[in-house]
Every structure is written in structure tokens, then in C-alpha cells.
Amino acid sequence: MEDVKILLAQPPHWSPDGHANFDAIERLVTGRTGDVILLPELAGASLPRSDYLRRVRDLATGAGMAVVGGSHYDGPVNGAADGAVIGAVNRGAVFDAGGTLLTEYAKAHPYGLELRSGIVPGLPGEGFELHGRRLHVLLCADLWYSASLAGRDGLDAVLVPAFSVTRWDGPAPARELWQHMTVARAYEFMTYVAVSDWHHDTTYHGHPCAGVTGLANPCPETRAGFFTATDDPVSVHDLDFDRLDAFRRDRADRGFR
């Protein structure tokens, strides 16, 4: 079975101008090759839905890869200086390399600052297929609810656009929590878990980001491989599905399901 090469984008700065974010991401991935690019949460900031979809589609066709487009706030935005939103949904979309819309998804558990700003819950998507493999998208805090994956047996990868705003003094505590959570989800559900976040120098309306980009692998060759963290603006990871299939068969043989 063909492996999938995933690119995790971790831009150095977030802008409330979604076009500026997409311009920066386009520069980061120019000349890169792979199968799918995962963008961080709110890459589209508060772009109108039509503009957001166009930018994700154009990125996919221009890069020649599927793109999981992070997200944007879809809905009414008030005129407050802090960009607060009222009644909007945190939503995203996936396009393939040919510009076809594969799936849409939304955040079911608005969290912290966005919840206080008036973001409302949305409906998670049904996922999509790539090279015959089942991929599913969870937006940031939705990964922290195991029920988000309950009943979705056989997922080959869970892709998580994140904006890991933290209250800790420094990124280390939040990074440890995210690494433990992603590895736990990967092992429990026998799937890869990939996270794309903003760099830890980024802030969201004055709140610092932890920079938790990385890949959780349920079946690494060594114990150091359960989670691969990165500070790179773009990191490339191979999802070895033959090894994942063997891991699942071994667990089934041992009655560990």
C-alpha cells in the first residue's frame, strides 16, 4: 500500500488578515512535494467563506497536493478592535490537488477565548479518502474529547489544525500535554495523529501560542518515535501504512482491540 507524505505547516506569525496568512503559507510550501499539506487553525482568520475556499483551493492546485485548510471564522464578525466574533463557526475545508472539494468540517468544542468571543459549536465532518486511506480532521480542542473519534474505527490518520493558545509561562507545559494527548489518541485508536500549529512566538490577541506541531506514531521503530516534534516552518513526515496495518493485526491477534 502506498505511503502518504504529509507536510505540516507551522508559520512563524499569525495575522488577523487571512490573505496575509495564505500568502505566507504559499511561500513556505513553494517547491515542496508530497501528498497532503496540513495548515494550522485560523489560517483563514475571518475571511468570507468564498474567499477562504478559494485560497485553500488555489493552494492545493498550485502546490499539486491535497490541502487541509486549517480553518476560519465563518459568520458575522463585529467591528470590535480585538476581532471578536458573534455567532460565527470555526470551519475548514479540504481540497485535492485537482481543486475538488473533498470535505468540510467545523469545531464542535469552542474553547477559552473564542468561546467568550461568541463562537458557536459546529458539526465535525465525515473525513475524506486519500490514496485509498481514511483521514479525519479534528479542529484543535476537539482532539481532547475521545468521543470525537468514538465509532470511527479504522481511521488511518487524524489531522489536527491547532492554535494552541496557552496560559502557561512558556510553551513547555502545553507541549507536554499535547504530546501525551496525541500519543494516547494514536495508540488507542491505532492511527497516526498529525498536528499543525503556529510557531510558539505567535500570539492570538495577546495570548501566547505553544507551538505543538508534530506527528504521533502508534507503532514507531523505537520509543523515541512515539512523537516527533518540530520547530520547522514546514516539516515532512511519511505515514507508513504497511507498518500501521501490521500493528493493527498484531493487536488483534493478542486480543487487544
CB distance 196 to 230 below 8 Å = no
User: Lowest-confidence range among 54-63, 145-154, 218-227?
Assistant: 145-154
Question: Which has more pLDDT, 84 or 118?
Answer: 118
* pLDDT 10s digits, 171-223: 999 999 999 999 999 999 999 999 999 999 999 888 899 999 999 999 999 99
Find the helix or strand (DSSP H, E) in which 172 lies: helix 172-189
Cα distances from 235 to residues 23, 121, 215, 227, 238, in angstroms, run: 18, 31, 10, 13, 10
E-only strand ranges, 162-253:
192-196, 203-204, 207-208, 214-216, 227-229, 234-239
Angle at 111 between CA 53 and CA 140, to 5 degrees: 55
* pLDDT 10s digits, 99-110: 999 999 999 999
| Rounded-to-integer distance, Cα 257 and Cα 248, Å | 9
- The reply to whether CATH 3.60.110.10 applies to domain 4-253 is yes
Domain residue limits, the chain: 4-253
What pLDDT shows up at residue 73?
95
| Rounded-to-integer distance, Cα 248 and Cα 245, Å | 5
Average pLDDT score over residue span 75-90:
67
Q: 174 in the Ramachandran plot: left (φ > 0), alpha (ψ -120 to 50) or beta?
A: alpha
To the question of pTM greater than 0.75 for the whole model, the response is yes
Is the confidence at residue 169, as pLDDT, over 70?
A: yes
CB distance 183 to 144 below 8 Å = no
% of residues, the chain, pLDDT over 90: 83
- The residues, ordered by sequence, that sit 6+ positions from 93 with a Cβ below 8 Å of its Cβ are 52, 53, 56, 69, 101, 103, 104, 105
